[in-house]
Amino acid sequence: MRGRPHTQPGFIAALLHRLSGLALAVFVPFHFLALATVLNGADALDSFLSLAATPLVRLSETGLVAALALHMALGLRVLAIEFLGVREQTITAVSACIGVAVAFGVSFLLNAG
């Protein structure tokens, strides 16, 4: 792209916010469908949950938890700028948001085993 400015922290923030949002938008309908298997009895839900015990699924779940935390944290940043008139050191703010996401992801992974 002609003259594209070097990637700024604000752009990274917006990109991560958008990509995590897309991932969640795709995931959530399936999440609802999975939970609703309980309509066929608690065992139906149980067998679905045991499927989720594989390392690959655990890793994906960790990613989704991190994506949710990231989308929320970056969203709070946007709300602060737009409605609380916050002026920030963008790099610091964005790093903090990513830190929150990693923290949630790691605590999920450690707790899920």
Partner 1 sequence: MLHVEVWRSADRGRFQPFAVPRRPNQTVLDVVTEIQRDHDPTLSYRFACRVGMCGSCAMVVNGRPRWTCRTRVVDAVTTDGKLRLEPLRNLTVVKDLAVDMVAFFDKWMRARGFFEPGAAIPEDFAVVRPESEERRAADEGIECIGCGICYSACDVVAWDEAYLGPAALNRAWTLVNDIRDGAQGERLDAVAGDSGCHACHTHMSCTTYCPKAIAPTYSIAGLKRAVVRRAVRRSR
Partner 2 sequence: MTALLFVVQRASAVVLALAVVVHLATIVYAVRGGLTAGEILERTQGNVAYLAFYGVFVVAVAVHAPIGLRNVLREWLGWKGRACDGALVLFAFVLFALGLRAVTALYLA
The binder of partner 1 chosen from 5, 29, 55, 113 (CB under 8 A): 5
Q: Considering the rule CB under 8 A, would residue 91 count as an interface residue with partner 1?
A: no
> Pick from partner 2, partner 1, none: which does 59 bind, CB < 5 to 8 A by kind?
none
Count Cβ atoms within 10 A of the Cβ of residue 37 and give its class: 0-12 exposed, 13-18 middle, 19 or more buried.
middle
Long-range CB contacts (within 8 A, 24+) of 3-8: 8/90
The binder of partner 1 chosen from 1, 26, 42, 56 (CB under 8 A): 1
Two tokens, residue 111 = 């707790």
Residues near partner 1 (CB under 8 A): 1-6, 8-11, 13-14, 17-18, 77-78, 81-83, 85, 87, 90
